[in-house]
């Protein structure tokens, strides 16, 4: 089992469909949602903001969602998998893939995500994630639940500021 961690692309795929139930399988859900909600509130009015739905601890069902691997399909890691002919659904059965996002923090491969405009370089975003340690805690919790041997964790973030959100 390999675990891959990559960043989210700034050029995100738009569109999506209404929220469908998603099962969270790590216990740090409430902590992660709380920081997401704080960061959502920090976003400037000029930025494209997602709806305050279940992905932020809210109850709005008006957001348009795509699975994370489709939303962030313009990133180099996902493009590389596609160009090598990999069937992502099959690949994901044998590997774990997480995205590190300025708004979402830690995002699992199939987790429903909305479109948004935000970068870690935006004022206060990096420090909010670092202070909370929510990304690290969620990753540790999730990996602690795995019942198989993890051979390797590969950081494919490609950006130091995203990588350093994980201690």
* Cα–Cα separations (whole angstroms), residue 35 to 31, 52, 108, 140: 7, 13, 16, 17
Q: How confident is the model at residue 2 (pLDDT cuts 50, 70, 90)?
A: low
Helix or strand (DSSP H, E) at 90: helix 88-94
Strands 112-114, 65-67: parallel, antiparallel or unpaired by DSSP?
antiparallel
Q: What is the pLDDT of residues 19-39, one digit of tens each?
A: 777 776 667 788 999 999 999
d(C-alpha 1, C-alpha 88), whole Å = 15
Q: What is the pLDDT of residue 26?
A: 67
**Mean pLDDT score, 6-23:** 71
Reduced to 3 DSSP states, what percent helix, strand and coil does the chain have, rounded to the nearest 5? 35, 15, 45
- State the helix-helix crossing angle for 134-145 and 29-42, rounded to 10 degrees: 150
- Using the predicted structure, report yes or no on whether residue 96 has a pLDDT greater than 70: yes
Query: Which residue matches tokens 């692309």?
Result: 9
Residue 10 confidence (pLDDT)? 58
Instruction: Report whether pLDDT(6) > 70.
Output: no
C-alpha distances out from residue 16 to 38, 99, 117, 148, Å: 24, 18, 16, 33
Q: Mean of the pLDDT values across residues 90-115? A: 87
Beta strands in 8-144 (DSSP E): 65-67, 95-101, 105-108, 112-114
The domain limits of the chain are: 2-163
């Amino acid at each position: 089992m390999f675990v891959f961690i990559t960043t989210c692309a700034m050029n995100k795929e738009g569109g999506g469909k209404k929220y469908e139930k998603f099962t969270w399988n790590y216990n740090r859900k409430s902590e992660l949602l709380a920081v997401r909600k704080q960061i959502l509130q920090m976003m400037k009015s000029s930025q494209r903001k997602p709806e305050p739905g279940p992905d932020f601890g809210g109850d709005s069902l008006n957001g348009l969602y795509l699975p994370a691997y489709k939303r962030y399909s313009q990133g180099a890691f996902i493009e590389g998998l596609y160009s090598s002919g990999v069937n992502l659904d099959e690949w994901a059965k044998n590997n774990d893939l997480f995205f590190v996002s300025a708004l979402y923090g830690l995002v699992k491969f199939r987790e429903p995500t909305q479109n948004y405009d935000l970068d870690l370089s935006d004022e206060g975003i990096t420090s909010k994630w670092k202070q909370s340690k929510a990304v690290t805690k969620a990753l540790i919790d999730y990996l602690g639940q795995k019942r198989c041997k993890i051979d390797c964790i590969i950081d494919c973030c490609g950006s130091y500021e995203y990588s350093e959100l994980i201690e």
